[in-house]
Structure 1
C-alpha cells in the first residue's frame, strides 16, 4: 500500500466488509475482467454470495477461482464554509477542497460453489439476516421455493487489506 498513513488493520478491514451495503466482486473471464456489485455476508474467513444457476457467476465462481472483493463505506464529501475555502486558497491548499472521505477494504479470495444444502441454507440465512432481518418469518418458505434454483458461493479469504481517508475537523 502506497499510503501507509491510511492503512487499517485486518480487524478494521473485516468491519468494513461486514458493514458495507454491497461489495463489488471481480475476476478474469476469458481474458476480460468480469465485475458485478453483489450482496455479501462474512462469517470468519469466508464471504458468502448467491446467484442464479446460470450466467457468469455460475460459470466462473467455482474450483478455487481467484476473485477479488472491494467494499467501501462511510463515503462523504466534506462541506466547508466560505471562510474556510478562502483560507485554503490563501494557504495554497485549494486542492484540499476537492476530496472525499471513505473507508475501503479489498479481499483476495478463492471462490467455491457450495453443493451441500445445509451449508447453502446457513449462508442464505446469514445473508437474509443481514439484509432483511424483519422478514425472517418467511425464510423457511422462501428456501422451500428457491433453494433448488439458487447457487451459493463461498469466497475463502486469502488476504485482506484496508485503508481510510478520514478528514480532521
Structure 2
C-alpha cells in the first residue's frame, strides 16, 4: 500500500493491511468525495471489503453512481470513534479513533455473478447469517444495481489511542482528565407489523 504520509502527527499513520483491513471490516459506512462539473460532492454510503478492494452499490439511475463509474478520482474516508479524550485544558481535548483514507478510481463491475457476490458480502457484513435466510436476490434486481470496486493500493490508516497528553505544567492541576469510552452496538431486533408472529431466527437472536 502506498505511503500517504500525513503532514501532522505522522507517528499515528499506518500503511499495512493488518491495520487497515480490520477498520474497514468493522465500519458500515464510508464517505466518497469527488469533483464533478468543478463542484465538490461527498456522499455517505454502505460498503464492504473483499480481499484488496472495497465495493459500493447503488441504482443504475443514480447520478452519484453514474459519475463514479466513469473512473474519476475519488477520496474515500472511514472513521470509527472509540473514546472522547478529556484533558486538563480545552486545547488538548481530543478523540481516540481509527480512520482510513483511500485514493482510488471506481471500476464498474459488469459480471452478474460478481455483483451477486457483492450483495452476499455486504449482507453478511451488516447482518451475519442472513444471506441464506432471506429471499434470494432476483436477476432484475442485479440488473437495476450498479456495483463499483475500488482498489486499496493507495490506502492509509490513522489511529489515536490512550489518555490525554497534557502540558507538563498542567499535570498537577486539580482538574479531572481521562477518557470517556464510546460504544456502537446492535440492540435487540424490533419486528415490523408483518413479522409480529414470526419466530425470531437464530442468526438474529444474538
TM-score, reference length from structure 1: 0.82
- Find the aligned partners of 2:37 and 2:21 in 1 and give their Cα distance: 31
Matched, 1:166 2:161: yes
- Find the aligned partners of 2:54 and 2:133 in 1 and give their Cα distance: 23
Are the aligned partners of 1:65 and 1:112 in contact in 2 as well (CA < 8 Å)?
no
What's the CA shift for 1:58? 2.7
Are the aligned partners of 2:28 and 2:48 in contact in 1 as well (CA < 8 Å)?
no
Are the aligned partners of 2:116 and 2:137 in contact in 1 as well (CA < 8 Å)?
no
Alignment match, 2:188 = none
Alignment match, 2:16 = 10
- Find the aligned partners of 1:164 and 1:106 in 2 and give their Cα distance: 12
SS in 1 for 2:152: strand
Alignment match, 2:91 = 95
Which of 55, 59, 84 aligns to 2:62? It is 55
RMSD of aligned Cα (Å): 2.0
TM-score, reference length from structure 2: 0.68
Higher RCO (CA < 8 A, seq sep 6+) = 1
- Find the aligned partners of 1:113 and 1:94 in 2 and give their Cα distance: 46
The structure with more radius of gyration: 2
Which has the larger helix fraction?
1
For structure 2, the 5+ residue unaligned runs are 1-5, 164-177, 179-206
Name segments (4+ residues, structure 1) moved above 6 Å. Answer: none
In the TM superposition, what whole-angstrom CA distance separates every residue of 1:86-145 from its partner, at most 9, and x where no partner exists? xx3xxxx4522x221111110111102111101111111111110122421355623445
Alignment match, 1:152 = 147
- Find the aligned partners of 1:155 and 1:140 in 2 and give their Cα distance: 28
Tell me the number of residue pairs that the alignment of Structure 1 and Structure 2 aligns: 157
Which of 108, 131, 145 aligns to 1:113? It is 108
What's the CA shift for 1:62? 1.7
Alignment match, 1:77 = 84
